[in-house]
């Protein structure tokens, strides 16, 4: 995009704007099968330009130049297809698995809940976020919700965690299983309170008969389901334990804008990331702290990819970067503070309105960093640099572009 901007003379921000799908054009049918359900790319661009103080950049560039440093700013606006995926679509693309997800919700006789999910948490905080869903839909306190994942001897046959799908697909399976819990609970409540099922309402953990003060808690209903002495046993099975499988109707499409500001020391070629701003639309945010953590971690991975990390092999296939040190995984002092913001448009085809946040950080950040490095080096005529933009590569570019040193 920046190369096109340079060639056409169109401002790089305006060029991106010209190519945005406007917020009122959704749902947007692309020419290549996919239909984007929602988004507001102008909102994330605007948010990132503001948060990164884009307007003040040229002054910062001049201040850096006065200290002999090359400062650059890079922008990336991106769109990702995740929440994978409709099984039929991926099947047509050659996938040999279904990409549904499954949840089993077990309400215990005490009213506490165990969730068996087919997705897996290895640090993404599902134990918290998925428990929040139960808290929200069934009104069960967080402390009474247990999330079980990963043990194939216990969980139903699920598909796991990847493609930022756990909440969009796995969370939706939970919602559907909890809908079944509520529907069955209403039938039990109608029997116990001698009312018509249509008159039973469920809210904040309580079943009530509309227009009366008759109520039963979820725990009352669950106890009646497991001790079915007074129970519509001819119509209903005992127990309050439901499973739902959910095959998504579409991918989800998180998007956003990442802005990186870097400074290069022309003597060494070392790039310092001064600021990094990410403003993403991940749909509805269930837990802001976890979303921020996911995006910060993703951005760090993207910065590592853009500047440091590289699996290098020699001609005989021997891995040369076989240790953390040689591979140069980013350390704390290689990274800046990562400013994260969100702008929300809801996903329209899942009940939670969520799009996924696990990968967006790593998707938006590498191009933002590389564009910033190229921007910093523009006086040397650089239009592109391959990742990772190591000090050696940058130093060589600067050396090649310099007027020959004065003779000794």
Partner 1 sequence: MGETMPQVTLTVNGKQHTVDVEGRTLLVELLREKLGLTGTHVGCDTSQCGACVVHVNGTSVKSCTMLALQADGAAVTTIEGLAAADGTLHPMQAMFREHHALQCGFCTPGMVMSAIDLVQSHPEGLSEQEIREGLEGNLCRCTGYHNIVKAIAAAQPLMHAKAAAE
The correct pick among 153, 196, 324, 404 for binding partner 1 (CB under 8 A) is: 324
Q: Which is nearer to partner 1, 106 or 149 (CB)?
A: 149
Residue spans of beta strands (DSSP E) within 252-406: 255-264, 271-281, 338-342
> Strand 206-209 to strand 215-217: parallel, antiparallel, or no bridges (unpaired)?
antiparallel
The correct pick among 72, 86, 125, 266 for binding partner 1 (CB under 8 A) is: 125
Q: Which is nearer to partner 1, 131 or 300 (CB)?
A: 300
CA angle 88, 160, 124 (to 5 degrees): 130
Dihedral sign for Cα atoms in the order 162, 165, 171, 176 = negative
**Binding span for partner 1 by CB under 8 A among 34-42, 106-114, 192-200, 317-325:** 317-325
Q: How far is the CB of 128 from partner 1 (least distance, A)?
A: 10
Residue 58 CB coordination number (10 Å): 11
> Strand 35-36 to strand 28-29: parallel, antiparallel, or no bridges (unpaired)?
antiparallel
Q: Which is nearer to partner 1, 35 or 287 (CB)?
A: 287
Q: How far is the CB of 297 from partner 1 (least distance, A)?
A: 5
Cα first-last separation, the chain: 43
Using CB under 8 A as the criterion, what x/- string covers residues 328-347 for binding partner 1?
-x-xxx-x-xx---------
Which residues, numbered 355-394, are part of the site for partner 1 (CB under 8 A)?
Answer: 361
Q: Could you tell me how many residues of this chain bind partner 1 (CB under 8 A)? A: 26
> Strand 255-264 to strand 70-79: parallel, antiparallel, or no bridges (unpaired)?
antiparallel
Is 67 near partner 1 (CB under 8 A)?
no
Which residues, numbered 234-293, are part of the site for partner 1 (CB under 8 A)?
Answer: 289-290, 292-293
DSSP 169: I
Q: Which is nearer to partner 1, 332 or 406 (CB)?
A: 332
CA distance 325 to 201: 60
Q: Which is nearer to partner 1, 120 or 349 (CB)?
A: 120
SS3 assignment, position 205: coil
SS3 assignment, position 297: helix
Q: Which is nearer to partner 1, 239 or 330 (CB)?
A: 330
Is 311 near partner 1 (CB under 8 A)?
no
Residue 65 CB coordination number (10 Å): 12
- For residue 310, give the nearest of 300, 320, 298 by alpha carbon: 320
The correct pick among 44, 77, 124, 250 for binding partner 1 (CB under 8 A) is: 124
Is 323 near partner 1 (CB under 8 A)?
yes
List contacts with partner 1 (CB under 8 A).
122-125, 289-290, 292-294, 296-301, 323-325, 329, 331-333, 335, 337-338, 361
């Amino acid at each position: 995009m920046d190369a096109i901007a340079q060639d056409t003379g169109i401002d790089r921000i305006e060029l991106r704007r010209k190519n945005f799908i406007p917020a009122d054009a959704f749902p947007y049918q692309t020419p290549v099968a996919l239909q984007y359900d929602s988004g507001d790319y102008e909102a994330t661009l605007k948010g990132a330009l503001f948060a990164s103080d884009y307007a003040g950049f040229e002054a910062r560039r001049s201040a850096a130049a006065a200290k002999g440093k090359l400062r650059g700013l890079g922008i990336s606006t991106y769109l990702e297809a995740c929440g994978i995926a409709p099984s039929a679509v991926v099947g047509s693309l050659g996938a040999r698995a279904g990409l549904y997800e499954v949840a089993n919700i077990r309400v215990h006789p005490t009213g506490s809940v165990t969730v068996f999910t087919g997705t897996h948490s290895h640090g993404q905080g599902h134990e918290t976020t998925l428990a929040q869903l139960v808290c929200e839909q069934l009104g069960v306190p967080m402390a009474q919700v247990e999330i079980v994942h990963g043990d194939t001897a216990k969980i139903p046959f699920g598909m796991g965690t990847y493609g930022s799908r756990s909440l969009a697909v796995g969370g939706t399976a939970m919602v559907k299983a909890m809908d079944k819990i509520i529907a069955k609970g209403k039938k039990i409540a109608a029997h116990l309170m001698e009312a018509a099922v249509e008159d039973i309402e469920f809210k904040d953990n309580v079943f009530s008969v509309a227009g009366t003060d008759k109520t039963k808690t979820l725990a009352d209903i669950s106890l009646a389901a497991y001790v079915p002495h007074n129970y519509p046993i001819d119509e209903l099975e005992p127990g309050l334990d439901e499973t739902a499988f959910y095959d998504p109707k579409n991918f989800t499409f998180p998007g956003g804008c990442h802005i990186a500001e870097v400074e290069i020391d022309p003597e060494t070629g070392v790039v310092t990331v001064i600021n990094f701003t990410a403003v993403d639309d991940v749909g509805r945010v269930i837990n802001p702290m976890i979303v921020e953590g996911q995006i910060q971690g993703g951005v760090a991975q993207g910065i590592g990819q853009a500047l440091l990390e590289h699996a290098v092999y020699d001609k005989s296939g021997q891995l040369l970067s076989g240790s953390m040190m040689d591979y140069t995984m980013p350390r704390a002092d290689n990274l800046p503070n990562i400013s994260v913001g969100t702008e929300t448009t809801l996903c329209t085809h899942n009940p939670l309105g969520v799009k996924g946040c696990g990968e967006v950080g790593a998707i938006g950040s590498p191009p933002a960093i590389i564009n910033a490095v190229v921007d910093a080096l523009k006086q040397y005529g650089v239009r592109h640099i391959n990742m990772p933009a190591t000090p050696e590569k940058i130093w060589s570019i600067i050396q090649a572009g310099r007027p020959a040193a004065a003779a000794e």
